[in-house]
A and B are shown apart, each in its own frame.
Chain A
Amino acid sequence: MIKAAGIAKSFGRVRAVRGVSFTVEPGQVAGLLGPNGAGKSTTIRIITGCLPADEGTVQVAGFDTRRDSLDARRSLGYLPEAAPLYPEMSVVGFLRFRARLFGITPRDRVRAIGAAMERCRIEAVRSRRVGHLSRGYRQRVGLAAALLHDPPVLVLDEPTSALDPSQVVETRELIRDLGRTRTVLVSSHVLGEVERLCSRALIIAAGTLLADGTPGELVRRHGGPVRYVVEARDEGRKAEPALRAVMGVAAVREERAEGPWRRLAVEAGTDAPDLREPMAAALAGAGVPVRELSARHASLEDVFLRLLRAADPARENAA
């Protein structure tokens, strides 16, 4: 479990993190999402014990990162951004060093290194120098190092940033698998990454936690009303009034027209139920043939941008 309670950190006059609180339970993969300079890295560095918070507390696997710092660090597997490694060491030499550092006994060391290499698919480069590896392989060596001591909590900073598409899919699968029994916190500024990988999203901007929930919850809570798209053969212009008459419809506007076909965007009112069935009935009643009627829910990206604009009016004006 990771429990952050009111953590705050300033660098001089800059308030990087302002009273951020959240809890990530075992079995969850939580994504810490935010634009550059939002306070993600500072939050991650406070959680991993790299930086002390000015205010607030952090618990990792039940250990206070200040009071029981070494126990907290023993329970944590951390992959820093860009996976910094010693370039002059071999892959297996580096993993052996990390295993010794975490006090893994010689008997368990070979098994732990073998298992971590197998999970991260780096056996083929075990004897290669780290400095000679591609960025993708280095990232996977860093991930293997974070997994060596089988920690109950994993903190991964941009874990797929340097990987090619097939490696991204494999690594996401690995992280999802690890998240079944562990607490995993992934920092990313890639929305799609968090949407595909995480069961929970924490959106942070200007050092403040703006939203916390499953991607579905966030979309429902902050995504705004559902939009519907209707494409109808509407030479008599009957579709628009028929749709406006449906209870729950807030607005209808034409998106485009192609010959007799018109594409209409329908915006539902707040808290309106699913309007597809009453709209289909209204159009049938008006004698309008329909070739498409679908609901368009907001994406996490829409939620993210909406929250950022709400938090920073200047961004809204710029957009």
Chain B
Amino acid sequence: MSAAAVIAGREFRSFFRLPVGWVVIALYAALTGIVFAAGTLQPGGVATMRDFFALAAWLMLPVTPAVSMRLLAEEARSGTLEALVTSPVSDAQVVLGKYLGALAFLVAVLVPTLAFVVTLWFVSDPRPEAGPIVAGYLSLLLLGGLYLAVGTLASALTSNQTLAFLLTFFFLVALLLASGTRLDFVPGWAQSAFYAVSIQRRVAEFAKGIVGLGDAVFFVSGAACFLALAWGALESRRWR
């Protein structure tokens, strides 16, 4: 088994041994459940989960930094990073393993929400279209994957979990605001650049059930860029 997979497995299991893992799962399920019950499960309404996915995407903002903040920051604070980087494991494998473990946990966070899909499936007539639902979950994974990569970078930059959380959260909020708002005071080329990296525009496309290859590539390559930066940040610890 590759070292990255070993690290990912340990990381994934560790979320279930810590209160923070269960709290994240419970809060995410509870909040999305309220929206599903109040907004989606309406007698006579259209069988669609568009409202659910819209809120689920916004909830990724606090959830992903809460998951990613401890990935490398806690290892550095507790000293376990020293034992990890002196094992026969490359820094790239450490970063990838940590990220994949967090991504697997994000899947676990989404699993309870499948109960809403099943519920809607059985109570609706006609039944909801499968395409937008699959696309919705895919968008949450792609979005969460990008956010987690940003969080992995923040966690590699500091040994303080709170700081890692705040760095990730405010960076993501700034990214969403800059790319989702029409900013008249910035030059045209900057507006075009913000539009090109707009996350909200892409999430809206997914919610319609449209899974564009370009959009998927945007999220995956964005995550890869932030992971590469996290790798660089981890390497730089040796030189600091």
**A50-B238, A51-B238 known; A80+B83 contact, CB < 8 A:** yes
Whether A52 and B87, one on each chain, are in contact in the complex, defined by CB atoms closer than 8 angstroms, is no
**CB-CB contacts below 8 Å: B43-69 with A:** none
Please name the residue on chain A nearest to B5 by beta carbon: A100
**A70-B90, A84-B78, A88-B18 known; A97+B83 contact, CB < 8 A:** no
1/0 contact string of A79-110 vs chain B (CB within 8 Å)? 01110111011000000011011110000000
Check: B85 CB closer than 8 A to any chain A CB: yes
Partner of A76, one of B14, B18, B78, B86: B86
For A52, list chain B residues within 8 Å (CB).
238-239
Check: A73 CB closer than 8 A to any chain B CB: yes
Partner of A89, one of B3, B6, B17: B17
A89 to B9, CA, bound (A): 13
Whether A88 and B14, one on each chain, are in contact in the complex, defined by CB atoms closer than 8 angstroms, is yes
Check: B192 CB closer than 8 A to any chain A CB: no
Q: Is the interface of B mostly helix, strand, loop or mixed?
A: helix
Interface centre among A71, A78, A84, by most B CB within 10 Å? A84
Interface size on B, residues (CB 8 A): 22
Check: A74 CB closer than 8 A to any chain B CB: yes
A204 CB, min distance to chain B CBs, angstroms:
20
Q: Is the interface of A mostly helix, strand, loop or mixed?
A: loop
**A74-B88, A100-B6 known; A80+B18 contact, CB < 8 A:** no
**CB-CB contacts below 8 Å: A184-238 with B:** none
For A152, list chain B residues within 8 Å (CB).
none
Please name the residue on chain A nearest to B90 by beta carbon: A70
Please name the residue on chain B nearest to A65 by beta carbon: B86
Partner of B79, one of A49, A70, A80: A80
Whether B90 and A48, one on each chain, are in contact in the complex, defined by CB atoms closer than 8 angstroms, is no
Interface size on A, residues (CB 8 A): 27
Please name the residue on chain B nearest to A101 by beta carbon: B87
A48 to B81, CA, bound (A): 13
For B239, list chain A residues within 8 Å (CB).
52
Whether B6 and A73, one on each chain, are in contact in the complex, defined by CB atoms closer than 8 angstroms, is no
Check: B1 CB closer than 8 A to any chain A CB: yes
- A→B interface (CB under 8 Å): 45, 48-52, 70-71, 73-74, 76, 78, 80-82, 84-86, 88-89, 97-98, 100-103, 145
- Counting from the closest, the 10 A-B pairs by CB-CB distance are A84-B79, A88-B17, A100-B6, A74-B88, A73-B88, A48-B86, A84-B80, A70-B88, A101-B87, A80-B82
Can you offer 15 A-B residue contacts whose CB atoms are under 8 A? A51-B238, A52-B238, A52-B239, A70-B88, A70-B90, A73-B86, A73-B88, A73-B89, A76-B86, A80-B82, A84-B83, A86-B80, A89-B14, A97-B6, A100-B6
Task: Give me 20 other A-B pairs in contact (C-beta within 8 A), A50-B238, A84-B83, A101-B6 excluded.
Answer: A49-B85, A50-B86, A71-B88, A73-B88, A80-B79, A80-B82, A80-B83, A80-B86, A82-B79, A84-B79, A85-B80, A86-B10, A86-B80, A88-B14, A89-B14, A100-B6, A101-B7, A101-B89, A102-B88, A103-B88
